[in-house]
Structure 1
């Protein structure tokens, strides 16, 4: 039986734990195991597992791995509640919909009740969709002023080559939001589009926040984020800082290629 090689581990300060996996497949497998472990622990402790899914190319194979026979039975999907970190303002069957990607890769392939999946209504007017999704989150985590005491068991995030995460882009007002949990955000690249995104107010209240990053195209920006190089404070991915939860970066060797702290 093939035994995966243990990842290289780095720690940046007290807050950022980094796992470097030898290749993309090893990263995908480890990320799927990570989701399983947190899901089982949450269900054992509280009877429910809440997760905010990320969009993008990196998480998709993780979702596909979780839907494989060797994984699917290891999570009690009847106890899982699925949310989304962000969504493009498109209908749910649109090729650019994060919900559609997650549905095709995972949700249609596991025994999860439809009522347990809470998608963002990207087809609605952006402000209306954001406020409606915030009401959904507040119904789950408590209708409080400011951040909840605790939000998700796990938030999965990716990182763009510009340092954005979810739909929190450099210079966007959403990064400085102190009260709202969900906001609309208009972005310019790769083409003008409205998106709906969770804000750090609710992301940072999660019990665990895990970034998944792969590929050489992310290496330079990732080094800025993790090592605090000049300008890192302007990068949304660098500013995610769970208040009480665990922050983990799971990356492959190509994404780690410009990190100075490697052995």
Structure 2
């Protein structure tokens, strides 16, 4: 399903509303809500809105568990840290228990951090793929999502839920959830904003299968795939 909003601000409000709605449903039906956050600049405004009183008071944060789709191998207080961004915009502003914040420890070497996060997920879900209630993802200009980059071996990973990766040209290693982990979710929502993403959004959604487009690897096996985009990103799309 694809839904379009006029601009980035209205898109951000829609993302925050989606999180509130899915949290309420999960808490009512299953007693807890597992939310996997995206990094980058696009979701930050939604996180800020979610931390505001209009949204935050509608969620029982004691029963929310937060995860990450990917992380750079930097300390948590580094400006490049996905955890750091989410903590500043959202987590430090709501009453979520520290034990419910399951960050990827980017201060560790990438392989060690990936193995540790794999163990964290298996301690919760066992051998089955993680059943996150909602996964938020972005879309890169090159078709990457989380830290799954074109033609990276992590795209073919079938046994591990987290993998160490490197982005070509970037000296900082990363950890990413793998397609099997992401595809176990009850819902995956891509958040796409800006005219620079329009061509890639069309290629991923409307083009033929392409191993060079990692976002095409995201297809929940038992859940929904949602595209939440602004008008600039959707320009010319179907």
Indicate the TM-score class for this superposition, using the shorter chain for normalisation. over 0.9
Tell me the equivalent position of 1:171.
151
Looking at structure 2, the residues matched to 210 and 174 of structure 1 have their Cα atoms a distance apart, in angstroms, of 21
Selected match of 1:92 from 55, 73, 76: 76
Across the two proteins, how many residue pairs are aligned to each other? 238
Could you tell me which runs of 5 or more consecutive residues in structure 2 were left unpaired when the two chains were aligned.
Answer: none
**Structure having the higher Rg:** 1
Q: State whether structure 2 residue 228 is matched by structure 1 residue 254.
A: no
Closer, same or farther in 2 for the Cα pair 1:232/1:22, shift >3 Å?
farther
For 1:202-213, list aligned pairs within 5 A.
202-213=181-192
Specify the alignment match of 1:228 in structure 2. Answer: 207
**How big is the shift at 1:69?**
1.1
Give structure 1 regions of 4+ aligned residues with deviation exceeding 6 angstroms: none
2:203 aligned with 1:219, yes or no? Answer: no
- Cα pair 1:224 1:232 within 8 Å, conserved: no
Partners of 1:95 and 1:258 in 2: how far apart? Answer: 35
Aligned to 1:188: 168
Equivalent positions of 1:100-119 (< 5 A) are 100-119=84-103
1:90-124 deviation line (CA, Å, top 9, x unaligned): 00000100000000000000011111101101011
Match in the other structure for 1:6: none
Which position in structure 1 is the counterpart of 2:120?
136
**RMSD after superposition:** 1.1
Kindly state the Cα deviation for residue 82 of structure 1 after the two structures are TM-superposed.
0.5
Structure 1 residues not aligned, in runs of 5+: 1-16
The equivalent position to 1:239 in structure 2, one of 217, 230, 235, is 217
TM-score normalised to the size of structure 1? 0.88
Alignment of 1:159 with 2:143, yes or no, is: no
Corresponding residue for 1:200? 179
